[in-house]
Amino acid sequence: MTSKKILQTVFLFAALTITTNAQIEFTGLGSSLGIGGINSNSPSFTVLGGSIFFDVAPWFSDQLILRPGFTYARKIEYFLPENRHGRVYPFMKSFSLKAVIQQTLQRNIFIEETAGVLYLNDRTFQTNEWMPGILFSILGGLDFTDYKSKGLQLGLGLEYGLTFTKTNANYYLVSLQSKIIL
């Protein structure tokens, strides 16, 4: 399956989610930016990574949130000014679907646990492998939503993703996440 086809599938899912509020409710939109590491059949590289995602509330649960998203992580030297002639900057990108459970600890403090599946593109060195895997994350944050549960949430989290086939690629990101609750 090509990355263009995967991207079309994600956009189609987003469009259907927005138009079928009777079944699934679009509840939030967010992004994260952080630093971490990637490796496959190679030593690990320090990376700068980010992700974008949206949240949907399924009809079958009041506590669970589904979070489709896209993550991109690239060797940190790519973002620094230097002579790039002949250099290779490894990167990974992935599409994911996570199940999210958010727990309120105090009025404005929460933790968020996720587990899910991912489809990862390993571009370390000259490889171009797509492979399935799993991911887990935990986040602690501050909730700035109003009484109608609309507003902003900020948090600091750790995400770890790994695959089981081909190059056994994996990554971790420690990132700052922001999410707008709609």
pLDDT in tens, 110-154: 999 999 999 999 998 777 889 999 999 999 999 998 876 789 999
Q: What is the pTM of this model?
A: 0.82
The answer to whether 114 touches 98, Cβ cutoff 8 Å, is: yes
Total domains in the fold of the chain: 1
Residue 14 has pLDDT above 90, yes or no: no
pLDDT at 1: 62
Average pLDDT over residues 39-45: 87
Say which residue, 88 or 155, is predicted with more confidence.
Answer: 155
Q: Residue 120: give the domain boundaries.
A: 3-181
Is residue 22 very low, low, confident or very high in pLDDT (cuts 50, 70, 90)? low
Q: Give CA torsion, residues 67, 158, 128, 52, to 10 deg.
A: 40
CATH number at residue 170: 2.40.160.20
Cα 44 from Cα 35, distance rounded (Å): 13
